[in-house]
A and B are shown apart, each in its own frame.
Chain A
């Protein structure tokens, strides 16, 4: 075990703490007549043996999960420059308001008259997202970005089918796209066609022309793209796809870069998804929950999932009356608790504040890019938006140090690593997104760590390839995890 002191001790699994008879719950005794399960339930349907859940005390549970939390990096601990993930600060007041009784403890099937506050919030959120995205109607139902993509592409297919264009099943996707885009297209029943990026990192216009034919359903585009570059040809791209009879889908993963400076709807996009857990500051929760509302232009509004929230005079209501709806993508109305936080964020920032968010995010990325470009290769050396992609090819070719090693060494310097090996079109990619909530001093410190690692790669490469050394565990054997999957505890953990 690395390090010293109690904090470095391995935290046992909760099951290892278990002792028969110990308990961490208190329940009231029953105040109704006794009811024997064996009498009211079919005997052959009764569980023979209780599930082997832990038997621990409340103190055990609290200490166990507190210690686990200490074995984890989060935005509240330090800089978290994961590219395309927009790890900005998560305002605490938003956590407080989402926990208010009148939001957290409300059943989704409560009669409308008794949830007017919740419906008003959702209605207003739909309105704000329409304004920010330049679209005409919004659904809050999708639970995450990829869920929004599925919703959006399903809407596009249904719309095309209603126009007698049901044969269109090609989805054009740039080679720099997130993996969710091609996966979404196929889940929604389409085929994918990849287009190359040009020398400036944008969509290669000639390649696009060559595939934009009568079978195109849509183009899915992230703009700025995963290279952090705004596609300067966006109006040309929109024109090519629209002329071919296809629609434009905007992947909002990187919308943090353009709020107040460009709206996808104005740029010709027909369908837009928003990642409330990126752009609008809601926490990522260690992988979720997110929220992925979808906005559409007028012609597509009838195809949104139901219900959407409507307003009649002063009364808000759930509107199930969209005749061409694609149906539902989940139960109820979306990740309401996440929507509350994003709503609170928009109300805190206001229109100028959101624009300033985009400015400061882009400023931070360009500032950091200039500093890091001293030691690392930039494949696309131009003004970036909210993130940029550096490459570790110099370190690899000159010193045999890989990007993975650089990422691990950053952990020793107290920083979370950037996204690595993505996008796929940049070798040894380091995708860095600082966000607007980091001070210049933090950016300087990160740049200094990157510079130091570049020197280490040259002078003492084993320090980098042997990293991390200061974390709770050393580099983990991912090949072993995949070759001998151990996905649930059965009494022992893997040993060497």
Chain B
């Protein structure tokens, strides 16, 4: 997994979600490290459009054949769009975690919160340590 470079334009959580901010809208997904740990993803539970999420709140789960993991929102805001393609093709989370495998978009209500998140360099170090356990 050391051959993966974490995109610089994303921010990362300790629970291995990422967020890409464009204007007021943040697009959320799961990191390469997380999908690698879970293995073949078979199901993603997405939040409903319109749901208000708080930073750190569980918005859904991601499942592989033999594991299940809660997913936490990297920011507060209202869900405006979900990635419907994951319903039939959850494997996109494995094949392109930082791109096609995104989960949902939300209207960020408090951009100040984003300062709590890690940048790519810090996350890279963080996940390397996690992986060493």
Answer whether A and B touch in the complex at a CB cut-off of 8 Å: yes
Question: Hey, which bits of chain A sit against chain B, CB under 8 A?
Answer: 421, 478-479, 482-483
Q: Within the assembled complex, what's the spacing in Å between the Cα atoms of A478 and B43?
A: 13
Report B39 CB to chain A, min CB distance, Å. 8
- List which B34-50 residues lie within 8 A (CB) of chain A: 40, 42-43
A-B residue pairs in contact (CB < 8 Å), sample of 6:
A478-B65, A479-B64, A482-B63, A483-B42, A483-B43, A483-B91
Q: B66 an interface residue at 8 Å Cβ cutoff? A: yes
Contact between A483 and B66 (Cβ–Cβ < 8 Å)? no
Query: Separation in Å of the A178 CB from the closest CB of chain B?
Result: 16
Q: Tell me, yes or no, whether B26 is within 8 Å of chain A by CB.
A: no
Residues of A contacting B64 with CB < 8 Å? 479
Docked Cα-Cα span, A483 to B41, in Å, equals 8
Binding site for A on B (CB under 8 A): 40, 42-43, 63-66, 90-91
Q: In the complex, which residues of chain A have a beta carbon less than 8 angstroms from the beta carbon of B40?
A: 479
Contact (Cβ within 8 A) B66 A421:
yes
- Provide the residues of chain B in CB contact with A421, threshold 8 Å: 66
Q: Measured between C-beta atoms, what is the minimum distance from B122 to chain A in Å?
A: 27
Residues of chain A contacted by B65 (CB below 8 angstroms)? 478-479, 482
Q: Report A-chain residues with C-beta under 8 Å of the C-beta of B43.
A: 482-483
Which 4 residue pairs across A and B have the least CB separation, nearest first? A482-B42, A479-B40, A478-B65, A483-B42
Apart from the given pairs A479-B42, A483-B42, A483-B91, 12 other A-B contacts in the complex at a CB distance below 8 Å: A421-B66, A478-B65, A479-B40, A479-B64, A479-B65, A479-B91, A482-B42, A482-B43, A482-B63, A482-B65, A483-B43, A483-B90
On chain B, the residues within 8 Å of A482 by CB distance are 42-43, 63, 65
Output the nearest chain B residue to A483 by Cβ-Cβ distance. Answer: B42
Q: Closest Cβ of chain B: how far from A408's Cβ, in Å? A: 15
C-alpha gap A479/B65 in the complex (Å): 6
Whole-angstrom distance between the alpha carbons of A483 and B90 in the complex? 7
Among residues of A, the one whose C-beta sits closest to the C-beta of B64 is A479
A479 to B43, CA, bound (A): 10
Instruction: For B65, give the chain A residue with the smallest CB separation.
Output: A478
Which chain B residue lies CB-closest to A404?
B66
Residues of A with C-beta under 8 A to B91: 479, 483
**Which residues of chain A come closer than 8 Å to B63, judged between CB atoms?**
482
Which residue of chain A has the shortest Cβ distance to B91 in the bound complex?
A483
Q: How far is the CB of B100 from chain A (nearest CB, A)?
A: 16
**Which residues of chain B are within 8 angstroms of A479 by Cβ–Cβ distance?**
40, 42, 64-65, 91
In angstroms, Cα B39 to Cα A483, docked, is 13
CA distance A421 to B66 in the complex (A): 10
Q: Give A479's nearest chain B residue, CB to CB.
A: B40
Would you give the shortest CB distance from B87 to chain A, in whole angstroms? Answer: 10
Q: How far is the CB of A290 from chain B (nearest CB, A)?
A: 23
Q: From residue B93, how far is it (CB to closest CB) to chain A in Å?
A: 11
Give the docked Cα–Cα distance between A228 and B7 (Å).
46
* A479 to B42 CA separation, bound complex (whole angstroms): 6
Query: Once the chains are docked, how many angstroms separate the CA of A477 from the CA of B64?
Result: 12
When chains A and B are docked, how far (Å) is the Cα of A425 from the Cα of B65? 19
Q: Which residue of chain A has the shortest Cβ distance to B90 in the bound complex?
A: A483
Distance between A480 CB and nearest chain B CB, rounded to angstroms: 9
Look across to chain B and name the residue whose beta carbon is closest to the beta carbon of A482.
B42
Which of B43, B65, B90 has the most chain A CB atoms inside 10 A of its CB? Answer: B65
B17 to chain A, nearest CB (A): 22
